[in-house]
Chain A
Amino acid sequence: MTIERPNRPAMVRKPGEYFQRDRDIHPPAFTPGYKTSVTRSPQKALLSLEQSLSEMTGPVFNHNAIGELDHDMILNYAKDGEPIGQRIIVHGRVMDESGKGIPNTLVEAWQANAGGRYRHKKDTYLAPIDPNFGGCGRCLTDEEGYYYFRTIKPGPYPWRNYINSWRPAHIHLSIFGPSFSQRLITQMYFEGDPLIDICPIVKTIPDEEAIKRLIAPMDLNASVPLDCRAYKFDIVLRGRRSTLFENRLEGN
């Protein structure tokens, strides 16, 4: 039996603009402790833009773009054996600020090898290259927003900031989401690393709580016994309004 409610139109929940970015939890542009930021930071205020189609859309990637081993840094550059170092899984969920998983989105990762050496023609650190380790991976999240990589835990790395500056062990991560306004690059750090507290790049983030959200806990439950340990790293992209009572025309 159908109950008729002639005077009650269905409630419309139309996906709308993305939440305003909370700039207080992100690093500001000018952070003199990280010296390169001094001449690479805009001095004028950013111009806040109400979102149009240009900001609410973004590139969509399909599975054809990604190779079968792209997510596996233990195997994707193995030449005559496997790379040396601590074997780990890095896994987690990409979600938005409402906690909703973001499916089929591209996650890319890059890092140094176990000794802190990058496979990059501009890296001249004396620690050796690992012939079986490239140091980059990528994957698409699954239907629920989950992703994982297999890799080698990266080593700390010296860099020219102060005379004796060392980066904590870290993995760079790049994430898309469905709109160009969610585009994000960040770095994941490892639980218990004493270099985190003194790193000028970590300290570009003004908010202690926000820093904690970049530190991945060890996750024994996701480890593979006698093979590799795991670290869990969830990634949150901007959430999205849904307009509850839509009474404006399409495109507004």
Chain B
Amino acid sequence: MVQPLTYFKETPSQTAGPYVHIGLAPAYAGFDIFENNFSNVVAGPNTKGERIKVKGRVIDGTGTPVRDVMLESWQANSEGKYNHPEDSQDKAVEEDFLGWGRICSDFDTGVYTIDTIKPGPVPGRNGAIQAPHISLWIVARGINIGLQTRVYFSDEVAANAKDPVLNFVEQEERRQTLIAQRSEENGEVIYTFDIYLQGEQETVFFDV
């Protein structure tokens, strides 16, 4: 016999369901309850950096947009610093930069939009530098446990080529599923990032 190894076990995940908006984004459910609401605006007006929108749809295995999806994004500021006490880099974080956004797709079109600034490169493991990226967490009806992925940027070719995580994706063609395509519309910088849950174009999802 040995001593018992006493760890608690993580609470199991369950789907967020179709009415996730009630709790996490009540305005989308159709009512007003809290004074402060979380939103898809990640950076305030005093945050430095290039203003961008990340836009796309989440698409199921039949090619249909998922119209009841909720995403959360997490990113560093333009200097590559996270708004978190454990980021010990000697860099400043703007007061109106939360770094986090909560994003709901449109019920009609399925399009989601993140209103943010382009992040800078952040430290990776063992002294490596990671290419600029935004982490995403995706939940919806039919998704039993939140899916984690990353958004990289098409105009960061050199940094992407050296990114330790992208390089860890064994099939080179699958790395493309993590790269958002840059375009400009009416003076706005838009990165298009469609997420394929299943099938040939399936997005790379991570177990972090």
Contact = CB atoms under 8 A, between A and B. Distances in A.
B12 A214 contact: yes
A55 B74 CA distance: 9
Tell me what chain B mostly uses at the interface: helix, strand, loop, or mixed.
Answer: loop
B117 to A, nearest CB: 16
A133 to B, nearest CB: 11
Nearest to B82: A57
Tell me what chain A mostly uses at the interface: helix, strand, loop, or mixed.
Answer: loop
Contacts of A137: 23
Interface residues on A, range: 35 or more
A228 to B, nearest CB: 21
Interface string B181-208: 0000000000000000111001111111
Given A36-B142, A48-B206, A52-B124, A237 B130 contact: no
A60 B83 contact: yes
B137 A48 contact: no
Interface residues of B, number: 82
A212 to B, nearest CB: 10
A50 B86 CA distance: 17
Given A40-B60, A120-B29, A172 B17 contact: yes
Contacts of A236: 8-11
B197 A42 contact: yes
B198 A67 contact: no
Interface string B121-137: 01111110010010101
A54 B135 contact: yes
Interface in B28-70: 29-31, 33-36, 38, 60-62, 64, 66, 68
A252 to B, nearest CB: 6
